[in-house]
Amino acid sequence: MNESRNLRWWGVITLFIIVAISYVDRINISVLIVDKDFLDHIGLTADDRTRQGLLATAFMVGYGVSSVLLTPFYVALLGVRRSLIIGLVLWGVVTFVSPVFHSYGLLLASRILLGLSEGPLFALAASYIKAHFTSEENGKPNSLVNMGTGLGLALGYPLIGYLLAAHDWETSFHILGVINVAIGIPLVLAFVRMPRIENAVKQAHSPGEVFASIGNIFRGALQTRHLLLVTILTAAFLSYLWGSSNWLPAYLKESRGFSLREMGWLASLPQYATVVAVFIGGVIIDRIPRGKVPLIFVWGSLGVAAAVLLAINVQDRYTAAICLVAANFCWGLMSPAIPSTMQHFSRPEHIASAYGVVNGVGSLVAGFMPAIMGAIIGMNSKTSGGGFFAGFSALIGAMAVVAICGLTLWQQERAHPAKVVEIAH
């Protein structure tokens, strides 16, 4: 029994590494848009902010649709382990071949395909954690998986910056494609086991039974407690991640005057803060009563908003960078609370699909933030900071939504606490 309980952590570590790898893939474009050769290759100009932002939005559209619609199929037909392997193969291939796309439209299509292949990842991770950890102990495993977000961004910015400076932009795609397959797949084969969840899914023997099983999973997921409220919260929460991570390199280089080399490591500092904060957030979740977990969203979002407000108003560029580090720290504290909350409210057989809806719809909405920020930056390009100050102010509004949703969730849970269904260990 103890051996089994120890082995479950190796699966969590595997998911942590896969999430980190996936986030390097995702932000590759945000670094490359400062490279003239890359922009010339796809037919963009340096001041075409809206279409640059749409490259990130295209990924999130594919990601969100896949998370909502493909996750039930993955769970019913393939299971978590095989789904992860297929996803790694798909996004490795899409990343590797991306340099052959010689136009903006084709690259946009490749970003949609990458999003489609990565979409179910967090839902599958949530299913794994629900299978192996109770609600009273899921804070730390969720924090470890979500730490992959910050680590991937922290390593990705300087890695891609180095590849861009030492080689060329095509090399970054090729190396990332190989990493996905060479590292991710062996880890999944070795450590990810899902007997509880997969045995709970009815083994269908005909197309009719397949679609009936999938329909039951999806309908059950839609009845999950507070699904709509947590989805709105997640959309606003992820808006900060995608808005800040996609425009941070350009902001540091063009608005604050840092060199390409400085930009790489400065852009990674907020992500290291996220890694530390995500772990602290997981520890906090496991040590406070479940009813108080929503308050993490309230205080965390207020901290992010205050730090961003300071960052766009201070004159000193290094102080601004420190403020953005503080903003990411506050954001990271909230990160493990979203999957932990959904695992608390969901039934075991519904968690993957329920979290797929939350993460997918939230990502679809949040995916428009880079394009929205790009449009705001473009419209205010002649103002102080080249429009970046106005663009980053949109993130403050997103955090206001998170605070309102967190407060509402806390009040509703105080009035009517949830009854939790756990898996017997």
CB-based contact 332:150 (threshold 8 Å): yes
pLDDT in tens, the chain (425 residues): 455 666 889 999 999 999 999 988 877 887 788 788 888 888 888 778 778 878 877 888 888 888 888 887 787 778 889 999 999 999 899 989 988 888 888 888 988 999 898 888 988 998 899 888 887 888 899 999 988 887 887 788 788 888 887 888 888 889 999 999 999 999 999 999 876 544 444 555 556 666 676 677 777 777 888 899 999 999 999 999 888 877 776 777 777 766 656 666 677 788 889 889 999 999 999 999 988 999 999 999 999 999 999 988 888 888 888 888 999 999 999 999 999 999 888 887 788 888 888 988 888 888 788 888 888 888 877 776 667 788 888 899 999 999 999 999 999 988 877 665 555 44
C-alpha dihedral, 68 to 73 to 76 to 79, nearest 10°: -90
Give one DSSP letter per residue of 325-336, joined into a string: HHHHHHHHHHTT
Residue type, 420: V
Angle formed at CA 54 by CA 50 and CA 58, multiple of 5 degrees: 170
Cα–Cα distances in Å, from 12 out to 129, 136, 399?
8, 17, 29
Residue type, 271: Q
C-alpha dihedral, 139 to 140 to 145 to 146, nearest 10°: 60
pTM for the predicted model, two decimal places:
0.78
- The tokens for 297 are 């969203």
Q: Where are the domains of the chain?
A: 2-415
- The tokens for 306 are 């205050």
Q: Which residues contact 241 (CB under 8 A, 6 or more apart)?
A: 149, 331, 366
Give one DSSP letter per residue of 108-177, joined into a string: HHHHHHHHHHHTTHHHHHHHHHHHH--TTS-HHHHHHHHHHHHHHHHHHHHHHHHHHHHS-HHHHHHHHH
Please give the CATH topology (third level) of the domain spanning 2-415: Growth Hormone; Chain: A; (1.20.1250)
Say which DSSP state 222 is in. Answer: H
- The tokens for 296 are 């993490």
- The tokens for 126 are 């949530």
